[in-house]
Amino acid sequence: DAKTTQPPSMDCAEGRAANLPCNHSTISGNEYVYWYRQIHSQGPQYIIHGLKNNETNEMASLIITEDRKSSTLILPHATLRDTAVYYCIVMTGNQFYFGTGTSLTVIP
Amino acid sequence: EAQVTQNPRYLITVTGKKLTVTCSQNMNHEYMSWYRQDPGLGLRQIYYSMNVEVTDKGDVPEGYKVSRKEKRNFPLILESPSPNQTSLYFCASRLLASSTDTQYFGPGTRLTVL
């Protein structure tokens, strides 16, 4: 059973915020949420992670709902180089469970 | 340069012929892991290792073996490859107890089993 559910694809206009949702309704209290992205078939690249609180770094913001059943990755000002597949991941113990990803296309 | 390397990058083999895909990292990371990626299924974890001589099964370990004799190396062994193991394989390493807790991924190995 999938631990995360993501929409298969999304478009975003260049310069606008991209909001990528993820559903993880069966998440347990000690399981972290991670986001990675993959460009073409390169190795995935870390973006951000969190447990309960919202997080922000130089790449993105992560908003986790109070019940922790869903989260949203926000890329504040999307550029063409942000076109990639974005994976929402649950880490339980030291195992990582990737979702099937959202293919984000940033449109000029 | 900090990196994870995998060899070979591409491999075509036949059913039943044992093969090893090597993975090496130069960041002194305790944690290493193998994933396979198939169309429509995202990445699935095969095995992971928390440190030397410590390995654990991931989500899809059947048909694979690993070993961790040295901290920097984590080879993936297919004793008797089958066509359903045709996939894109990624190795990753991670520094435990790090504030960023980032997994660094290798460039991938594309394996075809005929």
Within 10 angstroms of residue A9's Cβ, the number of other Cβ atoms is 11
B39-74 pLDDT, tens digit each: 888 899 999 999 999 999 999 999 999 999 999 999
Q: Which of residues 4-43 of B touch A (CB under 8 A)?
A: 4, 31, 33, 35, 37, 40-43
Q: Which residues of B touch A94 (CB under 8 A)?
A: 31, 48, 50, 56
pLDDT, one tens digit per residue, over A57-91 is 999 999 999 999 999 999 999 999 999 999 999 98
Chain B residues lying within 8 Å of A43, measured CB to CB:
4, 90, 92, 104-108
Instruction: Burial-class residue A55 by CB neighbours within 10 Å (0-12, 13-18, 19+).
Output: middle
Asked if residue A72 lies in contact with residue A17, where contact means CB atoms within 8 angstroms, the answer is no
Nearest-CB residue to B102 (from A41, A46, A96): A46
Tell me how far CA of residue B32 lies from CA of A80, A88, A108, B46, in angstroms: 32, 20, 38, 11
